[in-house]
Amino acid sequence: MIYTMRTFSPEFPLEEADACLVGVPWDSTQMGKSVKYGPLFIRQALREMEGFDLESKNDLFDSKFCDLGDVEVVPGNWLLTQDRIVDTMEHIRKVNPKAFPILLGGEHLISLGALAGLGSKVTVVQFDAHADISKEWMGEKYSQITWAHHAKQMGMKLVQLGVRSCTKEEFAGLVEAKLGDVAGPVYLTVDMDVFDPSHAPDVSLPEPIGMLPAEFFSLLKKVCSHELVGMDIVECSADRVGTATSALAANIIKKVMLWKK
């Protein structure tokens, strides 16, 4: 069964789509500014942006997009919400295995549901200011600070880029990231706090001295040379139309769709 609520009419049916948008407004364990409206405002930024890309001379909107709407999250119940994300991912794979899933968060814990729904082990390329590999947080097993730990427990390989904040315990588990470590199918997850707050101020937990967009997109292009099987953009706390953060998130989707193999 698929648990989603349609918010926009899809341009194309899932059966014909090159990419599929799924919002996941989960916002129950993070401690910063609310991120539950991230899917709404990233979608709006996508609708307002110009799809033509000056670098590649290609147009994003030549691709066929389907929008399944938002997963019906269950406030306070992560395990049930995760099951619904998994069901949605499995539905996409069953109906159209070639459709590229793009999840819009919501907090970073949603990546765990997406990974569980892939049905195989992958390399997870994580752009993030934070390590997120704690075993628990304030007694909570599942949170935005623990999701990457659980991903590793699932057998996923992590390549973390942009990390500049972690606990003492997390530091012991950090491994120096190298793009050369990326191999096999790749799932891409972008926490918008990877950017310097001057470029992405609307995030739940901003960290100073972050990546600049030019640096990020240079790395992203190299990641896109690998086989991408899905992606998410998380921790966007935009609360209105026209923010720099949601516009940057939309441009990440644009570049991934134009650059991926």
CATH number, domain containing residue 254: 3.40.800.10
| Residue (of 229, 252, 253) closest to 92 by Cα position | 229
Q: 4: pLDDT confidence band, cut at 50, 70 and 90? A: low
CA dihedral 246, 247, 251, 254 (to 10 degrees): 80
- pLDDT > 70? residue 1: no
pLDDT at 7: 46
pLDDT at 94: 97
pLDDT at 136: 81
Q: Which pTM value belongs to this model?
A: 0.93
Q: What percentage of the chain reaches a pLDDT higher than 70?
A: 95
Q: What percentage of the chain reaches a pLDDT higher than 90?
A: 78
Report, as an integer, the average pLDDT of 60-73.
94
| Domain count for the chain | 1
pLDDT at 8: 44
Counting Cβ atoms within 10 Å, is residue 97 exposed (0-12), middle (13-18) or buried (19+)?
exposed
Q: What range defines the domain where residue 226 resides? A: 4-259
Among 5-19, 57-71, 147-161, 209-223, whose mean pLDDT is lowest? Answer: 5-19
